[in-house]
Structure 1
Amino acid sequence: MADIIIADLRRIQAQRELAEKMGTLEPVKRLQEWQCARLLVTHDTLAKESRYQAAMQFFVDELYGPKDFSQRDADLARVVPKLAAVLPEKAMLALKDAVAVNTLSFDLDLDLINHLDGPLNAFNYATAYRKSNRLDDRKRQIDIIYHLGEQLADVVHIRGVSMIIKLARKPAQLAGLLSLHEFLEQGFQSFKKIGDVHDFINPVLSKEREIMHALLDESVCLATNNPIPEV
Structure 2
Amino acid sequence: MSQAIIAHLHQVNAHRDMAEKLGLIDKIHQIQAWQCERLLATHEDLARQQRYRLAMAFFVDELYGPKDFSQRDADLARVIPKLAKVLPDSAMQALDDALALNALSFDLDMQMAQQLDGAPLNRETYALAYRQVGRQADRQHQIDIIAHLGQQLADVVNIRGIGMLIKLARRPAKLAGLLTLHEFLQQGFAAFKALGDVHSFVDPVIRRERILMEQLLDPERDITKDNPLPHV
Aligned ranges 1:91-130 → 2 under 5 Å: 91-116=91-116, 118-130=119-131
Deviation at 1:112, TM superposition (A): 1.1
- Kept after mapping to 2: 8 A contact 1:75/1:177: yes
**Aligned mates of 2:230, 2:51 — CA distance in 1:** 24
TM-score, reference length from structure 2:
0.98
- Kept after mapping to 2: 8 A contact 1:72/1:180: yes
Q: Which segment is superposed worse, 93-102 or 221-230?
A: 221-230
Deviation at 1:213, TM superposition (A): 0.4
TM-score, reference length from structure 1:
0.98
**Aligned mates of 2:222, 2:209 — CA distance in 1:** 18
Deviation at 1:2, TM superposition (A): 0.3
- Kept after mapping to 2: 8 A contact 1:215/1:227: yes
Deviation at 1:219, TM superposition (A): 1.1
CA-atom RMSD in angstroms: 0.7
Q: Give the partner amino acid of 2:135.
A: R
- Kept after mapping to 2: 8 A contact 1:156/1:188: yes
- Kept after mapping to 2: 8 A contact 1:121/1:230: no
Aligned ranges 1:27-66 → 2 under 5 Å: 27-66=27-66
**Aligned mates of 1:18, 1:133 — CA distance in 2:** 20
> Which aligned segments of 4 or more residues in structure 1 are displaced greater than 4 angstroms?
none
Q: Give the partner amino acid of 2:220.
A: S
- What runs of 5+ residues in structure 1 fail to find an aligned partner? none
**Aligned mates of 2:86, 2:130 — CA distance in 1:** 41
Aligned length: 231
Aligned ranges 1:74-153 → 2 under 5 Å: 74-116=74-116, 118-153=119-154
Q: Counterpart in 2 of 1:183?
A: 184
Q: Counterpart in 2 of 1:200?
A: 201
Deviation at 1:221, TM superposition (A): 1.3
Deviation at 1:17, TM superposition (A): 1.2
**Aligned mates of 1:20, 1:113 — CA distance in 2:** 12
**Aligned mates of 1:149, 1:105 — CA distance in 2:** 17
Q: Percent identity, please.
A: 60
**Aligned mates of 2:41, 2:10 — CA distance in 1:** 33
Q: Give the partner amino acid of 2:90.
A: K
**Aligned mates of 1:7, 1:222 — CA distance in 2:** 37
- Kept after mapping to 2: 8 A contact 1:149/1:201: yes
**Aligned mates of 2:149, 2:156 — CA distance in 1:** 10
Q: Counterpart in 2 of 1:157?
A: 158
Q: Give the partner amino acid of 2:78.
A: R
Deviation at 1:180, TM superposition (A): 0.4
Q: Give the partner amino acid of 1:31.
A: I
